[in-house]
Amino acid sequence: MDKLKQYNTFGIDVSCRSLIELHSVDQLTEYLQSTDGQFMILGGGSNVLFTADIEKDVLLNRTSGIDIIHEDERSVQLRVASGENWHGFVSWCVERDYRGIENMALIPGTVGAAPIQNIGAYGVEIKDVLDEVEYLDLSDRSLHIRSNNECQFGYRNSVFKGELKGKIFVISITITLSKTSTPTVEYWALKEYMQGHGINEPGTKDVFDAVVYIRRSKLPDPAELGNAGSFFKNPVIPNTQLEQVLEKHPEAKHFPVDDTHSKLAAGWMIEQCGWKGKRVGHTGSHARQALVLVNYGNAQGRQIADLAREIIASCKSEFGVELEPEVNIL
pTM for the whole structure: 0.84
Residue 187, in any domain of the structure: no
Which CA distances in Å does 192 have to 119, 187, 220? 23, 9, 21
Residue 213, in any domain of the structure: no
Per the residue annotation, which of 156, 172, 215, 285 is the catalytic one? 156
Q: Total structural domains in the chain? A: 3
Where residue 1 falls among pLDDT bands split at 50, 70, 90?
Answer: low
Interacting residues of 326 by C-beta distance below 8 A, sequence separation 6+: 47, 117, 156, 229, 230, 231, 232, 233
Residue 108, in any domain of the structure: yes
Residue 188 is predicted with a pLDDT of: 85
CATH number of the domain that 319 lies in? 3.90.78.10
Residue 271: active-site member = no
pLDDT, tens digit (0-9, with 9 covering 90-100), for 163-202: 898 899 999 999 999 999 888 888 888 999 999 999 999 9
Half-sphere exposure of residue 173, counting CA atoms within 13 Å on the CB side? 25
70 and 146 part of one domain: yes
Residue 269 is predicted with a pLDDT of: 93
Per the residue annotation, which of 82, 172, 230, 262 is the catalytic one? 230
Residue 307, in any domain of the structure: yes
Residue 17: active-site member = no
Strands 279-280 and 292-295: unpaired
Which CA distances in Å does 317 have to 181, 238, 245, 264, 314? 45, 18, 12, 15, 5
19 and 37 part of one domain: yes
Per the residue annotation, which of 71, 271, 318, 326 is the catalytic one? 326
Of 119, 147, 178, which closes a domain? 178
Strands 15-22 and 54-61: parallel
19 and 103 part of one domain: no
pLDDT, tens digit (0-9, with 9 covering 90-100), for 266-322: 999 999 999 999 999 999 999 989 999 999 988 999 999 999 999 999 999 999 999
Spatial contact of 58 and 40, defined as CB atoms under 8 Å apart:
yes
Residue 154 is predicted with a pLDDT of: 87
Residue 326: active-site member = yes
90 and 166 part of one domain: yes
